[in-house]
Amino acid sequence: MSTTETQSEECTYFRWSKPDTGYQIRHEMNYDGNKDYAVFLSPGELDERAIVPYIEYQHKATHFIETEVLKDSPVLFARFADLDLSDVTKILEFANQNGFLLPTHIYNFPDRLPLTGEKLALWVNQIWLMKQTFNIWQWSLSKDTDKLASVIKVDEKSIRYQFDTPRSRLWIINKQNHPTLFRKLIPGDFIIPARAFMQMRIDEQLSDMRIKAYKKPPIAMRLVFNSQNELDPYLAPTSLLAAMWLQFRQHVTRERRLKRCEICEQWEDVTVNRESWTSHELCVNRDKVKKSRKLMAVKKHLQEGLGVDDISVKLNVGVRDIQRWLKKETENKFEQKP
Ligand SMILES: [Zn+2]
């Protein structure tokens, strides 16, 4: 029927680099007074003379490591959305693993060493945007009407999106400007308004008009030789930030399913997994090894004459867990000996 059904999937080409020694936090003047990312800054911090945190290269970096971060982590955008806005250590850890969000930027200060880096405020703001969009997507997949209704207000003439954050921008869609969308609406249903939000936000994040700091278009189109020496069409993000939004976009349009691993609590793409998937195989095995090590320690302490309560404190394992393991062991022994 439509051409989209026969269209091949978009392939992505993205290589990104990071310094071998990683990044650090440095406090410097908000010298350029750039207010683009100031959503989370208090009015005082907007002052050009204010001191704000930056993420910068460690000065002793000798070379750069090139990585294919999207291939290494097919759900990188979800991990980015998962970052705690107030946890600088975790944000720095993400930068150390994946690099800067945008192409290298140098800040010059009077009487100070220049700084190659990004403002922490840029990170916080971008994490927040991704988190907000990711939540709406997850809620619409799980049809969580209560959560959707808490941020989306629909009436006959408008759809309003209101988020509970400082200096948050209110988004409104009017019936006059979007008559087609309003014809699709069913009273009490939030899925179409949620999808409309995804559409606006993702299109906005991948358009160079919105993020001035991109400096070049967020996505370039490239032709790449395949193994048959033919040319294949590729989308090539020009920054980590654009790459993550493109990854998100592909997940949304391909209706992929994500699930949190019950053990490591990281998101995983489970589209091809069975419905009952709960955790990574590696995590399960690691957990088993950890448990069997602890069980061995429990048995050793029991032989030494220690009580279960003392062992629980010593090994940092719950008393009930210890009792359960021991019970299971005895059962297994009986099963093995017919
Ligand atoms: Zn896991």
Question: 42 CA to middle of ligand 1, Å?
Answer: 37
Question: 156 CA to middle of ligand 1, Å?
Answer: 44
- In terms of residues, how long is the chain? 338
CA distance 128 to 40: 10
Of 269, 294, 314, the one marking the end of a domain is 269
The token pair at 338 is 């017919």
Question: 47 CA to middle of ligand 1, Å?
Answer: 43
- 197 and 161 Cβ atoms separated by less than 8 Å: yes
- Do both 61 and 175 map to the same domain? yes
- Do both 296 and 230 map to the same domain? no
- Do both 115 and 77 map to the same domain? yes
Asked if residue 275 is part of any domain, the answer here is no
Question: 318 CA to middle of ligand 1, Å?
Answer: 22
- Do both 293 and 228 map to the same domain? no
Question: 258 CA to middle of ligand 1, Å?
Answer: 13
- 109 and 31 Cβ atoms separated by less than 8 Å: yes
The token pair at 335 is 């099963």
Asked if residue 66 is part of any domain, the answer here is yes
- Do both 49 and 127 map to the same domain? yes
Q: Which residue range forms the structural domain that includes residue 111? A: 3-269
At residue 111, the pLDDT reads: 76
- 252 and 196 Cβ atoms separated by less than 8 Å: no
How many structural domains compose the chain? 2
Asked if residue 49 is part of any domain, the answer here is yes
- Do both 80 and 154 map to the same domain? yes
Question: 267 CA to middle of ligand 1, Å?
Answer: 8
The token pair at 275 is 């419905």
pLDDT band of residue 6 (cuts 50, 70, 90) is very low
Asked if residue 134 is part of any domain, the answer here is yes
Instruction: Provide mean pLDDT across the span 211-218.
Output: 70
Alpha carbon separation from 175 to 80, 126, 148 (Å, rounded): 34, 29, 20
At residue 38, the pLDDT reads: 43
The structure's pTM equals: 0.79
Question: 14 CA to middle of ligand 1, Å?
Answer: 25
At residue 31, the pLDDT reads: 63
At residue 106, the pLDDT reads: 86
Query: For the segment 68-121, what is each residue's pLDDT rounded down to a tens digit?
Result: 988 888 899 999 999 999 899 999 999 999 999 998 888 887 778 888 899 898
Question: 48 CA to middle of ligand 1, Å?
Answer: 44
CA distance 197 to 243: 20
At residue 337, the pLDDT reads: 52
At residue 47, the pLDDT reads: 52
Q: Evaluate if residue 166 carries a pLDDT over 70.
A: no
Question: 302 CA to middle of ligand 1, Å?
Answer: 32
- Do both 220 and 320 map to the same domain? no
